[in-house]
Structure 1
Amino acid sequence: MIARLARIAAPAWPWLLASLLARLAGLAAGVALLAVPAGAIVSVAAGASVDILPLVVLLVALAVAKGGLRYLEQFLGHRAAFDLIADMRLRFYDAVVPLAPAEIAEGSGELTSIAARDIDRVEVFFAHTLVPALAAVIVPGGLVAAGFAVGPAEGAVVLAAFIIGGVLAPLVGRARGASAARGLLVERAAIAQHVAEDAAAAVEIRTLGAEERRLAALDALGARVGAHLRAEGRALGARTAIGAAWPFAAVIALPALAGGDPAAHVVLAAAVVGAAPAVTAVEAFARSLPLALAAARRYLDVLDRSPRVADPERPVRLPDGPLDVRGENVTAAYSEAALPVLDALSFAVPPGGSLAVVGPSGSGKSTLASLLVRARDPRSGRILLGGVDLRDIALSELRAAVALVEQRAVLVSGTVLENLRLGHPRLSEDDAWRALEQAALADDVRAHPDGLAARVGEDGLALSGGQRQRLSLARALARRPRLLILDEATSHQDPITQEAIRRSVAARPELTTIVIAHRADAVAGISEILALEASDAGALDTERARTGGSRGLERPQAERGGL
């Protein structure tokens, strides 16, 4: 894990090397701050005279240099660390997007915990581990060499002191600390997921009277966090005690040696104390390193997953013009071991045509939509777009050609125009108004004083449910897709609005449309209807019908308000 993190840190090595040089110079200044006055005191004790003013000037210069070098070390180290964790977040996003939704088992709360807290914990490795670890080898190595230059016994004492402080102390409770660190990450991620679920289901929890049970479960998670913290604290206490004791043991041992030069012993003892921060830093990052490594392991676990949906090695370009869609014996399931949700499904939509997909919950309608945008691939069979198997189309070209609008519209905090530009960054305002007209939302936006600059709020909470759906539809239409999939995308609209949207979509002959719905109003005017049966995943019925061909479907309820 350390080797992988070191490879991730490779782009920042110039900054880290500069930080190391600043740390070495600062530690040297700290050693000199104790060794120089110790040497002066020994000289005075031996009867020699010492000029105080130059000594004071030297000590002041050393103190200022030590402070400045410490700042420079921290600045350079954190500059490198913050650049690296920003890059890690981008890599994490790039890794998660191809995995969703088929390979992501974690909930949104746990993924957020990895993207935010875990990556922040890895910053400890970059800013507070690499440079201190190197300094903890270089500075003590130099002092051990100086000790052996004074005498074998002196060198042995200095070496033993640094081994105790820099090697043995960090190992005390290491296994317990690493286990506690892993447990802390798991339990804290579980708390994040628990709280996210409680926030999303607050109304249901209150309605069902489940508050006490949910709080009890949260308390249990908190208790496990407390147990891990106590285990970590016991290991920390033992290491801290050893770390505080070893420099003073060396100070006592060196002057106590028989023979030799007492003045050299005193100066060497002062130098050991001055160099102690280089070694005690090992104990400090040994305390935080297990948590950083456990966080890195969770982060890299996501990066190491291979997406089931990948770009083809030799992509085939889509033909120009309107695209037909054809499914041939498509079988799909949520996992290899699961029963099929769709079984040997075949269907066809002509170029520029439309297809309605209806059926009760659990019949595979949304699964079919996920196959059409290649969020997952079928277990067997194939889907052709413009005569090309979806698996042979580059994902970037496929996503540019196909737009999916779902029942639960996902909007970003910002303005109407910013949301429209989410899939089309260079969208002009004229084209934005055109997309809003086609989605039957233009009048609502014009009625707002800010127009396209009207803010939609976090997750579109300033809009009604129907307005969120229409803005999501306008965003899809603004991209000028060649295949539009509406998955319950007008469920919050009244019949008049639904009819206006149908006319707008039908007025684009280059657009092939697949409408997924429970209700008859949503598929009115579509003659080609694919009816899926939930009772048997393999029983699929395709029928040609007029509007009345989907009898028994619920009619939508209108929703008002918003902009």
Structure 2
Amino acid sequence: MIRRLARIALPAWPWLAASLLARVAGLAAGVALLAVPAWGAVVAVDGDLDVVLLAVVLVSLAAAKGVLRYLEQFLGHRAAFDLIADMRLRFYDAVVPLAPGELEADSGTLASIAARDIDRVEVFFAHTIVPALAAVLVPGAVTAWAFLTGPVEGAVVLGAFLVGGAVVPLLGRRASARAARGLLAERAAIAQHVAEDVAGRAEIRALHAEETRLAALDDLSARAGRHLRASGLVQAQRAFAGLLWPSAAVLALLALGAAAPEHRLVLAAAVIGAAPALTAVEAFARSLPLALAAARRYLGVLDRVPAVADPVRPSVLPEGPLPVRVDAVRFRYPGSDAPVLDDVSLDVPARGRVALLGPSGSGKSTIASLLLRVHDPEHGRVLVGGVDVRDLALGDLRRAVALVEQRTVLVSGTVLDNLRLGAPRLTEAEAWSALEDASLADDVRAHPDGLDARVAEDALSLSGGQRQRLGLARALARRPRVLVLDEATSHQDVLTQRAIRLAIAKRPDLTAVVIAHRADAVAGMDRVIRLRGRPVRSRKTLTPHDRAPQARNADCAAPTPEGD
């Protein structure tokens, strides 16, 4: 994990190198701040000390150390923040191809990784790489000086630095790593729990489930607290050992004997001055397990290979209206033994208006997901405009095919912001046209702000029907060539459903597929294809009802007349 993070940090090496130089120089100034007075005390015994010069040197060293410390922090954090920004972009780029077909993580977990976990990795960039290198360079220089003083002195200093730099940071390493992994898991569970509470607050109040939800949150917090206590115990042990080893080294140097005590006094001061270089190792050893556990969760998302990806040489969709064909498709969801669709075929002609009707679990929404290539079938093909969707670039396919689901997800912003989500260059005139087709224009005009009316993320200020119609208007604003409505008018009254169907029918270049449970929701369609659920047999059987060539392996109803 450290090697992978080091590779991520490579683009910021100029900033990190400058931060390292500033840190080494600052630590050297800190060593001199203690070693020079010790040397002055030795010189003062002979009466040759220039106190004014000594004071000027010490003040200069202190000022230099302060400036160098600031530069080290500034340069290190400059590198870290650039890298964190890049990590968030990489995370988003990795999540998009996985959603929604393969992304098993919940929204709270994803938010926890994108925000808190990536922030924790900042410790590695800003407070680990540079301090780790400086912990080798500065104590190494002091150790070399100690060996020049004498082999015994060198051995004492080397042993002290090895204890401070290698033994102390590794105390309780496994317990610390275990606590870090557990803490991150519990915090992610807390984030998901709170996200669910926010999303379902109306249901929680209606069911009087506040106490139950709070009790579950308390249990998660208690488990996180146990991991924090385990981590704190390890940190306390390391802190005690970190205070002990420099004092032991000084006492050992001063107890070596009477020969050349003045040299050992200066060397002891240098050891105390170099100790912060190794104290930093102990400090990042406390935070590093949490950073590595966070990085493991982050990189775990980046390492996932999308099952659905762009082809190497994508084909191009033909111009004009697009037919849709499902050809002998079999599909089962991951982890399921029974296929949802088995040898299913159907045809939707260009400019056609076809409805898929059937009970829950019959595969209607699965067909929509295959059409948008959220998943790929195990067997068979899904074609748009005569081209297998697996041969199309995902961007081209999803620009041509728009899906409106039963529950519309809106973003915080204005009505116009939501309409421009898939059409950033949408004009206000085009926005009003899309709202008219979705039977929402009168509602928006009634608001004092019109297109600038604010819409919250959860859109509690809108009714369920208005949410659906805004989602439909957003899809129509993109001017798709295939429109899939998956229970997208379930919250509408009969007259509104009829107005929406008529508006869609006026678009001559649009092929429409309407998914519903009830026959009254698909009145006016050219053809109704009934999908049966899986009653007894493991193989889904969709028998032609009228032998029409447009639909095979499906129950096909005659066109339903338009009516009031």
What's the counterpart of residue 257 of structure 1? Answer: 256
RMSD: 1.9
1:205 CA drift (Å): 4.2
Post-superposition offset of 1:213: 4.4
2:372 aligned residue:
373
Farther-moved stretch of structure 1 (130-139 vs 312-321)? 312-321
Which residue pairs with 2:68 in the alignment? Answer: 69
Q: Distance in 1 between matches of 2:206 and 2:418?
A: 34
Q: SS at the partner of 1:188?
A: helix
Equivalent positions of 1:321-400 (< 5 A) are 321-335=320-334, 337-400=336-399
Matched-pair contact (CA < 8 Å) for 1:455–1:462 = no
Distance in 1, Cα, partners of 2:56 & 2:462? 69
What amino acid is aligned across from residue 148 of structure 1 in structure 2?
F
Bigger drift between 59-68 and 479-488 goes to 59-68
Residue number in structure 2 paired with 1:30: 30
The 5 Å alignment of 1:107-146 reads 107-146=106-145
> 2:540 maps to which residue?
538
Amino acid corresponding to residue 25 of structure 1 in structure 2: A
Query: TM-score scaled to structure 1, two decimals?
Result: 0.94
How far is 1:76 from its partner?
1.2
- In structure 2, distance between residues paired with 1:368 and 1:264: 83
Are residue 178 (structure 1) and residue 177 (structure 2) matched? yes
Correspondence 1:361-510 to 2 at 5 A: 361-510=360-509
| Alignment partners' CA distance in 2, 1:116 and 1:414 | 22
Name the CA distance, whole Å, in 2 between partners of 1:530 and 1:312. Answer: 31
- 1:88 alignment partner, SS class: helix
Structure 1 segment 203-222 matched on structure 2, within 5 A: 203-208=202-207, 210-222=209-221
Q: After TM superposition, give the deviation of residue 10 of structure 1 in Å.
A: 1.0
The aligned runs of 1:172-321 (5 Å cut-off) are 172-208=171-207, 210-321=209-320
Identify unmatched segments of 5+ residues in structure 1.
556-563
Which stretch of structure 1 is more off in the superposition, 33-42 or 186-195?
186-195
TM superposition shift of 1:227: 2.1
For the 8 Å contact 1:309–1:374, the answer to whether it is kept is: yes
Q: Deviations over 1:315-364 (max 9, x none)?
A: 11111111100111112221154311122111111111111111122222
Aligned AA for 2:349? P
What is the CA–CA distance in structure 2 between the aligned matches of 1:325 and 1:175, rounded to whole Å?
Answer: 57
Partner of 1:4: 4
Q: 1 CA distance for matches of 2:494 and 2:146?
A: 90
For residues 289 and 415 of structure 1, do their structure 2 counterparts lie closer, same or farther at Cα, with a shift above 3 Å needed?
same
1:196 deviates by: 2.5
Rounded to whole Å, the distance in 2 between the matches of 1:497 and 1:61 is 80
Contact residue 327 and residue 382 of structure 1 kept, 8 A: yes
Whether the 8 Å contact between 1:355 and 1:526 is mirrored in structure 2 is yes
Bigger CA drift: 532-541 or 200-209? 200-209
Indicate yes or no: 2:34 matched with 1:21: no
The 5 Å alignment of 1:520-559 reads: 520-536=519-535, 538-540=540-542, 541-547=554-560
CA distance in 2, matches of 1:338, 1:17: 55
**Contact kept in structure 1, 2:341 and 2:540, CA below 8 Å:** yes
- Map of 1:54 onto structure 2: 53
Would the aligned equivalents of 1:528 and 1:545 in 2 still touch at CA under 8 Å? yes
Q: Deviations over 1:447-472 (max 9, x none)?
A: 22222221112233332222221221
Provide the identity percentage.
68
SS at match of 2:465: helix
Q: Residues 207 and 426 of structure 1: is their aligned pair in 2 closer, same or farther, counting only changes over 3 Å?
A: closer
The residue aligned with 1:41 is 41
Contact 1:498 1:521 in 2 (8 A): no
Gaps of 5+ in 2: 543-553
Contact 1:151 1:260 in 2 (8 A): no
**Contact in 1 for aligned 2:527/2:560 (Cα 8 Å):** no
Q: How far is the alpha carbon of 1:178 from its aligned partner? A: 0.8
Q: Which amino acid aligns with 1:511?
A: L
2: CA distance between counterparts of 1:17 and 1:174? 28
Q: Output one character per residue of 1:80-135: Cα deviation in whole Å (capped at 9) or x when no partner.
A: 11111111111111111111233222221112111111111111111111111011
Q: Which residue matches 1:558?
A: none
- 33-42 or 165-174: bigger deviation: 33-42
2: CA distance between counterparts of 1:260 and 1:354? Answer: 101
